[in-house]
Structure 1
Amino acid sequence: MLVAVLVYLTTLLPVWAEDVVAGFSQDSISITTNFSGSEILIFGAVRREAPIARDTDLEVVVTVAGPSRPVTMRRKERFGGIWINRAFAHIDAAPTFYAVATSAPYRDAISSVSDVLYSISLPRAFRNVAGGADHASGFLEALARLRAEEGLYQINENSVDLREDTLFSTSIALPANLVEGDYLVRIFLTREGRVISAHENTIAVRKVGIERAAYRLANEQPLLYGFLALFIAIAVGWLVSALFRMIRA
């Protein structure tokens, strides 16, 4: 297997004269109390040291990955007249957000070998799937489906605008339910599905204002956060009760 990979990589050497120069419309995103989502424009150009004649088309693949978190998926089954959790699958690391954008149909833009080498497709982004389920793939499909419905997982084929094999751009929609952290953006140039150049950068997604203060308090001092939440709930209840008494009086 190692020999096959080395042979494959050596076939890429003649085309490394093409490289990526990329930029973002914003390199940080602030999550506030009224944050309703955002959109990031990813653009760039192909830098060449000299004109290169190619008989094959150049394609661009862009991925955006949020922080990974462990996930446990469970499936309810009817047992003795009640529904209980039976089969399960545990994923050590699943991206909280993942988007793939391509300039061509996915199968034309990236080969299966390059997908294995660079972990581009969504299934390659999952790490260490284990559990009591006979078919863990079913749980992965369920997780992908649920998060796709929330806008957290996206496969956007033919969404990268590539002009004259030089300039490219695409936009990625970021939903309101983003997880705070660094989002890794990777850009791949491919020919015949083989990666000839790769570029990566990060976008910082951070909570600000009251959202940031509450997040830090909940994570750094959970006991104090619990007492504060309880105090606020009691205070609001008392105020509402007092207001009703004033109205009735």
Structure 2
Amino acid sequence: MRLVLAAIALLPALAHAQTPAKPAHLVTELSSDHVDISTRYTGDEITLFGAMSEPAQVVVKVTSPTQAVSIKQKGRVGPFWLSVAKYDIADTPGLYFLLSSAPIDKILPATAQRRYGLGLQDALSGMHVSPTPADAATFRHALLDLKARHHEYVVNGQAVKILGQRLYSTTIKLPAQLPLGTYRVDIYLVRNGQVIATDHRQINVAEVRIEHWISSIADKRSWLFGISFTLAVMALGLFLGVVMGRGGKKA
């Protein structure tokens, strides 16, 4: 009910787009535009909702910042399966969601999908792999499968709900492991095989201060983190020894 009321509240913003002479328009809001990553973070859900000036289909694309990852290829060596190659992959988004009110292939032709980057293959358009795999097509397909299994690359043609032909909503389900940075959320209004309006939002994913400080020290100054951790454990052990020693004397 709250979602419906919030979306209805957006309708006045569309008043100027109601006349046929004006272009289609849509207004979008997020239940939250930031995600705080702490040691207790296990995933999150953000609701996207809005209103459109005329009945149409809606596509939502969520893209995280690019990140560098490494994957290992296993192969048979004698009777064993072992890692036979390692590939370093750069310039691929850590998260790539395509959520729509109907399957994208049914509402947009291939040319329009390529133009707006509305396909899983588009997520890998800027990918750089070192060393270059012998079979690039097979490698890309395997990488997409791996990302999909980890809920990092998602395509769902029924994720966006249309209410009363003018309101829409969807839930962006974020996994436990997230790249940090600013996520781009692109919303497309589609009718008769064409994108007739767009809207854009952002989600900021950041570590909270103490976790960010610890993570930064551990990553950039591992030697300092190791020394600090060792000293902290020693101090804790000394403190417990003193406390327990006093307790033993009293007994």
Q: With structure 2 as the length reference, what TM-score do the two structures score?
A: 0.75
In the alignment, structure 1 residue 25 sits paired with structure 2 residue 24 = no
Task: Name the Cα RMSD after superposition.
Answer: 3.3
Q: Give the aligned residue type for 2:127.
A: N
Q: Secondary structure at the match of 1:185?
A: strand
The residue aligned with 2:144 is 144
The residue aligned with 1:158 is 158
The residue aligned with 1:73 is 71
Q: Secondary structure at the match of 1:18?
A: coil
Cα distance change, pair 165–88 in 1 and its aligned pair in 2 (3 A): farther
Cα distance change, pair 17–74 in 1 and its aligned pair in 2 (3 A): same
Q: Deviations over 1:99-151 (max 9, x none)?
A: 11111122113321122112122210111344432222333333333333332
1:76-115 pair list within 5 angstroms: 76-79=74-77, 84-87=82-85, 89-115=87-113
Offset, 1:18: 0.6
Cα distance change, pair 75–104 in 1 and its aligned pair in 2 (3 A): same
The residue aligned with 2:127 is 128
Q: Percent identity?
A: 31
Q: Distance in 2 between matches of 1:89 and 1:46?
A: 44
Q: Deviations over 1:49-69 (max 9, x none)?
A: xxxxxxxx7211001111111
Q: Distance in 1 between matches of 2:212 and 2:111?
A: 42
Cα distance change, pair 191–156 in 1 and its aligned pair in 2 (3 A): same
Offset, 1:84: 5.0
Worse-superposed segment, 101-110 or 126-135 = 126-135
- Contact preservation (8 Å) 1:25, 1:41: yes
Cα distance change, pair 88–137 in 1 and its aligned pair in 2 (3 A): farther
- Contact preservation (8 Å) 1:39, 1:171: yes
Q: Secondary structure at the match of 1:137?
A: helix
Q: Distance in 2 between matches of 1:186 and 1:128?
A: 21
Q: Distance in 1 between matches of 2:32 and 2:139?
A: 35
| Unmatched 5+ stretches in structure 2 | 1-19, 246-251
Q: Distance in 1 between matches of 2:232 and 2:119?
A: 45
Q: Distance in 2 between matches of 1:221 and 1:70?
A: 20
Q: Secondary structure at the match of 2:127?
A: strand
Q: With structure 1 as the length reference, what TM-score do the two structures score?
A: 0.75
The residue aligned with 2:57 is 59
| Unmatched 5+ stretches in structure 1 | 1-13, 49-56
Q: Distance in 2 between matches of 1:135 and 1:16?
A: 50
Cα distance change, pair 134–199 in 1 and its aligned pair in 2 (3 A): same
Cα distance change, pair 230–67 in 1 and its aligned pair in 2 (3 A): farther
Offset, 1:17: 0.5
Offset, 1:90: 4.5
Cα distance change, pair 200–219 in 1 and its aligned pair in 2 (3 A): farther
Q: Give the aligned residue type for 1:73.
A: I
Q: Distance in 2 between matches of 1:21 and 1:157?
A: 21
The residue aligned with 2:48 is 42
Q: 1:116 aligns with which of 114, 117, 122?
A: 114
Q: Secondary structure at the match of 1:145?
A: helix
Offset, 1:26: 0.6
The residue aligned with 2:184 is 184
Q: Give the aligned residue type for 2:188.
A: F
Q: Secondary structure at the match of 1:108?
A: helix
Worse-superposed segment, 207-216 or 14-23 = 14-23
Offset, 1:221: 4.4
Cα distance change, pair 136–235 in 1 and its aligned pair in 2 (3 A): farther
Cα distance change, pair 188–212 in 1 and its aligned pair in 2 (3 A): same
